[in-house]
């Protein structure tokens, strides 16, 4: 009966665990992502709820708009440094999976532990936690538009519950309509941010009358110096910039990666960084500092109300901002199947053909979507009353930037362990990489440092979010042991050798592709000289890998 049920609901064929390990959807993937779509993937995910929900909190933590703006600019520079490391790694390992694969090749011992832990926290912590954090943000903006003054945390969570439920249903019923919805709401999101930026520029030039405030004339007077507060502020800044790595999970589908990957990832960080700085400047030109801090996640709504008035500013634009965040949740939910598929390809997921399989009629990953839905609701409903958004953001970001820092360190490590890697066609700037790693260390260590001086009563301890992130990450060691140590010893199946096989195959394919293009005369004189230099290195690498096996 169970076999009949599986054949009815899932279209993946039965196969042994060992053969599942070597299966790769990259071989079946179509190269359908061009430079425009690749850039849009990064821009659309970075412009989630962060720019609408975190500026007020960041301002409250650092004390002045001037310092807040510096942190937003610093976030762009640091994120660009991290982006260059991911570009280098992405061109070396051009398969779906992103950070999971980078960590496997950079730190293969002990038994792909870091790679497995990253996949673990992405599936059970980062992705569902981010979805849960965005849900109440929609609720706050829509309740604001509806004129609900007593919008308690539970009311906002209730709206978030309805949004997450409807988004999951849409993704289950139709992948095509999910993509259409994502594209539509991405356009809405960009239009809303451009309206805020342009309005701020006009207001600064005197074209829009707004009450005068001293946000900028005060300069840095009143700036705080609490290390814990700055760590929390940077966590929220990087929450807004998180998304520049989105493309690396789809590298197997990217056309002309040597050209498109650097321009798309780097370009998305530059575009978003400029828009973020201008949007924050616009907020602080219009909204007084005390009002901005008290507005919490609905600062953008306060801005639109003061500029456009009741009908447009208090109702229309907050509704559109809510839909923008709705689109971010939809994109995060849609990406669940690719995330689980990548982990399943390398054998990390037990019973992967059931969990990651598509519904035969709907052609959507029903089981994985339901699992992610259940986890998202746990994160949405379990935190105590109070600032649930801050709690979830700090919790999710702790694990996120821990592994981002490890991946950037991996790019440096691979320069020494594999100095002649044949696919290293892009070299990141090490000082920028080191800067990125330093900030990753800062926002993972200093949240454990107690805040200095007196602070307002918080609904939960200051260390709760990073502690939960640490515990969740360490809990992944248990399934790692059973999956990659105990199970292979029992069955004789090698679940870690795929890294060597994959690297040998990539080198061979790259060599054959270069050889074919050279024989056809498709290279310029410079490209031909580069090929003549790299060919012996590729052959030597392939020979060494063959002998090592």
Domain borders along the chain are 2-496, 497-549
Nearest Cα neighbor of 495 from 7, 65, 119, 53 is: 119
Q: Is the pLDDT of residue 518 over 70?
A: no
pLDDT at 498 over 50: yes
pLDDT at residue 393, as a whole number:
82
* CA–CA gap between residue 100 and residue 251 (Å, rounded): 13
How far is 301 from 327, CA to CA, in rounded Å?
Answer: 18
Average pLDDT over residues 413-434: 87
* Mean pLDDT across 477-490: 92
The predicted structure's pLDDT at residue 274: 93
Q: Is the pLDDT of residue 361 over 90?
A: no
Range in 93-107, 118-132, 328-342 the model is least confident about: 328-342
Distance CA 437, CA 332 (A): 25
Neighbours of 202 (CB within 10 A): 14
| 254 phi, psi to nearest 5 deg | -90, 130
What average pLDDT does the structure give for the chain? 81
Phi/psi at 10 (5° precision): -125, 140
- C-alpha 128, offset from chain centre: 12
Give start and end residues of each alpha helix (H) in 23-54: 35-46, 50-53
Give the three-state DSSP class for 146: coil
**What does the alpha-carbon distance between residue 349 and residue 358 come to, in Å, rounded to a whole number?**
15
pLDDT(545) > 70: no
Q: ω before 378 within 30° of 0 (cis)?
A: no
In a 10 Å sphere around its CB, with 0-12 CB exposed, 13-18 middle and 19+ buried, how is residue 426 labelled? Answer: middle
Q: Which residue has 């390809």 as its token pair?
A: 345
Residue given tokens 């195959």 in the structure block: 505
Q: At what angle do helices 113-121 and 99-106 cross, to 10 degrees?
A: 160
What is the structure's pLDDT at 390? 76
| Single pTM value for the model | 0.82
More confident residue, 409 or 206: 409
Average pLDDT (183-203) is 86
Q: What are the angstrom distances between the C-alpha of 312 and each of 55, 195, 301? A: 22, 12, 10
- Highest mean predicted confidence (pLDDT) among 34-38, 122-126, 289-293: 122-126
- Which pLDDT band, with edges at 50, 70 and 90, does 514 fall under? low
- H helical segments located in 93-219: 99-106, 113-121, 127-145, 153-173, 175-204
Give the pLDDT band of residue 406 (cuts 50, 70, 90).
very high
Confidence grade of residue 512 (pLDDT, cut at 50, 70, 90):
low
Identify the band that residue 74 occupies on the pLDDT scale cut at 50, 70 and 90: very high
- Specify whether the CB–CB gap between 388 and 136 falls below 8 A: yes
Q: Are 71 and 234 in contact (CB under 8 A)?
A: yes
With a cut of 70, say whether residue 228 has pLDDT above it: yes
Residues composing the chain = 549
Residue with tokens 């709760």: 464
- Contacts with 50 (C-beta within 8 Å, 6 or more apart), sequence order: 236, 239, 240, 241, 242
Of 180, 173, 183, the C-alpha closest to 369 is 173
Q: Kindly tell me if the per-residue pLDDT of 487 is higher than 80.
A: yes
pLDDT at 28: 41
Q: How far apart are CA 253 and CA 258, in angstroms?
A: 13
Residue 26 — pLDDT band, cuts 50, 70, 90? Answer: very low
Rounded to 5 degrees, what are φ and ψ at 33?
-105, 115
Q: Which CATH architecture has domain 2-496?
A: Up-down Bundle (1.20)
The average pLDDT across 385-398 equals: 79
Q: pLDDT band at residue 533, thresholds of 50, 70 and 90? A: low
Mean pLDDT confidence for 388-394: 79
CA 409, 413, 418 angle in degrees (round to 5)? Answer: 145
Report d(CA 471, CA 476) in Å as an integer.
9
The residue that leads in pLDDT, 9 or 33, is 33
Alpha carbon distance, N-terminus to C-terminus of the chain: 42
Helix and strand element counts for the chain (H, E): 26, 0
Rounded average pLDDT over 455-480: 85
Closest CA to 348 of 518, 79, 3, 103: 103
Which is more confident, 347 or 473? 473
Least confident segment among 146-150, 465-469, 525-529:
525-529
- Confidence (pLDDT) at 7: 37
Distance between CA atoms of residues 415 and 106, nearest Å: 10
Q: Is the pLDDT of residue 428 over 50?
A: yes
């Amino acid at each position: 009966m169970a076999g009949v049920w599986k054949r009815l609901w899932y279209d993946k064929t039965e196969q042994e665990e060992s053969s599942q390990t070597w299966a790769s959807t990259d071989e079946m993937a179509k190269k359908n992502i061009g430079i425009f779509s690749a850039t849009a993937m990064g821009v659309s995910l970075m412009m989630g709820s962060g720019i609408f929900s975190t500026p007020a909190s960041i301002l409250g933590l650092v004390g002045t708009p001037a310092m807040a703006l510096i942190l937003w600019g610093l976030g762009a520079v640091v994120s660009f440094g991290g982006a260059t490391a991911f570009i280098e790694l992405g061109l070396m390992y051009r398969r779906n999976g992103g950070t999971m694969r980078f960590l496997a090749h950079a730190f293969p011992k002990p038994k792909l532990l870091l790679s497995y832990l990253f996949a673990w926290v992405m599936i059970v912590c980062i992705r569902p936690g981010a979805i849960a954090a965005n849900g109440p943000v929609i609720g706050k903006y829509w309740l604001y538009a509806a004129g609900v003054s007593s919008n308690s945390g539970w009311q906002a969570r209730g709206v978030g519950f309805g949004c997450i439920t409807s988004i999951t249903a849409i993704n289950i019923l139709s992948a095509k309509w999910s993509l259409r919805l994502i594209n539509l709401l991405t356009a809405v999101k960009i239009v809303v941010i451009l309206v805020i930026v342009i309005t701020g520029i006009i207001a600064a030039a005197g074209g829009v009358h707004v009450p005068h405030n001293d946000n900028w004339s005060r300069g840095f007077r009143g700036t705080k110096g609490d290390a814990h507060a700055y760590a929390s502020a940077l966590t929220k800044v990087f929450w807004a910039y998180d998304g520049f790595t989105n493309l690396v999970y789809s590298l197997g589908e990217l056309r002309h990666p040597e050209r498109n990957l650097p321009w798309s990832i780097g370009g998305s960080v530059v575009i978003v960084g400029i828009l973020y700085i201008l949007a924050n400047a616009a907020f602080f030109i219009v909204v007084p500092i005390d009002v901005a801090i008290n507005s919490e996640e609905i600062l953008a709504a306060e801005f639109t109300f003061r500029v456009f008035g009741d009908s447009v500013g208090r109702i229309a634009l907050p509704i559109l901002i809510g839909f923008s965040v709705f689109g971010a949740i939809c994109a995060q939910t849609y990406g669940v199947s690719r995330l689980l598929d990548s982990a399943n390809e390398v054998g990390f997921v037990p019973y992967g053909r059931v969990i990651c399989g598509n519904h035969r009629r709907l052609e959507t990953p029903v089981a994985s979507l339901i699992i992610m839905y259940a986890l998202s609701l746990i994160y949405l409903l379990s935190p105590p009353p109070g600032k649930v958004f801050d709690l979830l953001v700090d919790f999710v970001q702790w694990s996120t930037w821990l592994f981002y820092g490890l991946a950037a360190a991996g790019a440096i490590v691979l320069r020494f362990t594999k100095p002649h890697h044949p696919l290293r066609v892009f070299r990141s700037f090490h000082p920028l990489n080191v800067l990125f790693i330093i900030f990753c260390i800062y926002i993972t260590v200093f949240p454990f440092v107690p805040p200095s001086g007196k602070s307002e009563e918080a609904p939960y301890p200051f260390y709760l979010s990073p502690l939960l992130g640490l515990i969740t990450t360490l809990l992944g060691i248990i399934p790692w042991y059973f999956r990659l140590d105990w199970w292979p010893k029992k069955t004789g199946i090698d679940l870690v050798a795929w890294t060597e096989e994959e690297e040998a195959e990539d080198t061979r394919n790259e060599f054959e592709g270069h050889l074919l293009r050279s024989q056809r005369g498709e290279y310029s004189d410079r490209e031909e000289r580069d090929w003549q230099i790299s060919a012996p290195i590729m052959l030597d690498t392939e020979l060494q890998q063959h002998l090592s096996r």
